[in-house]
Structure 1
Amino acid sequence: MSARSSFRFNGRFSKYLETGIPYCARPMIAAMRLTAICSLIFGGAAQASCPAPRAGQPLPPQATARPIDELPDWRPRVDEIEHQLANSDLSRVKLLFLGDSIVERWDPDLFNRHFGSMGALHLGVARDTTQGMLWRLPRMGLGKSLRPDLIVMLIGANDTYPGGNPEAVAIGIGEIIRSIRNLSPSSRILLLGLLPRGAAPDDIWRQMGDQINRRIAACADNKIIFYADPGATLSPAGSGMSRDLEDDYLHPTPLGYRILSDALDDEITRSLK
C-alpha cells in the first residue's frame, strides 16, 4: 500500500515524499537538529537542574509513587508488562521506551522498523501518570535484568488538567529522572517534551504542556540526560494542530507517529554518541 493511500491528506500534507516526512515538517526537524547542536556546543558545560521542591517543602503528590488502581485498565496493563518482562530475554534490550498511551499505541511494525535494530522495547501504559510510573519503575528490573543503553521517556499528559500545577508535574518528572538514575546509572535518558495538546496554540492544555516542557528541559546535561521536543514537528510554536496528525488533539495518527519516529531517529543517535 502506498503512503498516499495509507493516510488522509489535506492541502497541508499533499507533498508526502519517500522519506516519510511531509514537506512542511522538514524545517521543524531541521530546527530540532540545530537546537541539539547548539545545546551541545553552548550548554554542555552547564549544570543540569531538574525540577525539585524548594528546600524544606515536601514532594507534591505528582512526585510520589502510587499505583493508579482507580483506573480499571491500568493494573491489567501493568500486570501484562510484568509478565512480559519475567518471560523475556532482556539482555538484548538496548533501547527502552517508557510512557503512557502515546507510547503504548505506537504501531508495532513502525516501531520495529525504526528502533528494532537496537532490540527496542516499549512499556507504555495507557492513562499512566508520574505517580504510576514512579511506582512501576522499581518493579521492572531496571539496572538488573533490564539495563538499556538509552531510556526514552514521555510522561505527564495525564497529569495536566485545567487549573493544574505545571511546577508539580515537572517535579514529578524530575523525580522519575532521579529514580531511573538510581536504579540504572549506566543508562542514558532521552526525555521528551509533552506533545502539543488541543486544537489551538492558546488552548489551556497546550499552554500547560509548554510550561511543563520549559521546566523539564532543565534536566538535560547533554551527557547522560538529553531533552528533545519532537512535538514541534507536529505543531510548530504558534500554530494550530491538524487532525491529520492528532485526530483527538492528543494522540498521534498513523501519519503523526511516522513523523515522530523520523524525528526521534536523529535524537536517539545523538543521545548515544
Structure 2
Amino acid sequence: MKILSIQSAVAYGHVGNSAAVFPLQRIGVEVLPVYTVNFSNHTGYGSWRGPLISPDDVRDVITGIEERGVLPQIDVVLSGYQGGEGIADVILDAVERVKAANPSAIYSCDPVMGNARSGCFVAPAIPVLLRDRVVPAADIITPNQFELGFLTDTEPDTLESTLASVDRIRETGPRTVLVTSVERPDRPEGTIEMLAVDDAGAWIVQTPHIPMKANGSGDVTAALFTAHYRRTRNLGDALARTTSSVFDLLQRTHDSGERELQLVESQEFYAHPRMQFEARQVR
C-alpha cells in the first residue's frame, strides 16, 4: 500500500506527518509525505520557528511525484490540519489527479477544526471550507464529535444523535466515518469511545479515558484507521486495531510524564496491537 500524506511537519515532537508517517511505516505502508509547513515544533507551545510552505510549492512537490510516474500506485491520499485556505485547492487537485491515475484510490480527510474543550482553533474560513468543499470530496473522514457537530449543524451527544449526525454527513459524500472522542452522558465514568460507520454497519469501542492532552494523537488515529480499513475493508477490525494501538501509545506517553507522544517507543503497539478492546456492532 502507498499513501500520499499531505500534512504539516515538525522537527521536535510528533504532529501531522511527523506523527502519521512512522506508525504507517511500522505496519508496512509506503508513505510519500508532502509537507505543508516545516516548523520547529507544534504551535501548542505558543512559539515556533520555520516556514509555512506556499500552496504553489506544495503543488510543485506533488507535480514532481507525478512526473516520476508514481500516481497510479497511490492507494490513498491522506490529509489533516489545513493551516490556510489555499492548501485545500492543492489537496483536492491531488485527489483528482491520483484518482484519475488509479480509479480505486481513496481520499481520507481528517477535518481538523477544534474540540469541545478548546472550541475552534483554526482560521474562521477553514471550517466552512472543509464542510462545503473538502469533506464532500472525501471517501473517509475522521472528525471528533465536536467537528461532526459543526459539519452537520447538529449537537451529537447520545449514541442515537451521533449516529444520526453521521448519517447526515454520509449523505454529502464520505461513505466511511470514524468519530473520535465520543462522549455520551450514559457512558460509564472514566471512559471514552470511538464510533465507526460505513455502508455495512456501525461499530463502537470503549476504552478508559487517559486524562491528558496529546497533540498528534488524532493524526496517528486517522492514519492507522485509514490504512487498516483500506487494507481489510473490515470496519470492526480496523476500529479495534486502531483503538488498541492508540490507547497503548497514549498510556505509555502518560506514564512517561513527557509532553510529546512517545511515538518511537510505542512502535510494537502499531505492528502488533494487543487487541484488548472489543469493537461492538451497534447497527
TM-score where L is the length of structure 2: 0.41
TM-score scaled by length of structure 1: 0.42
* Larger fraction in helix: 1
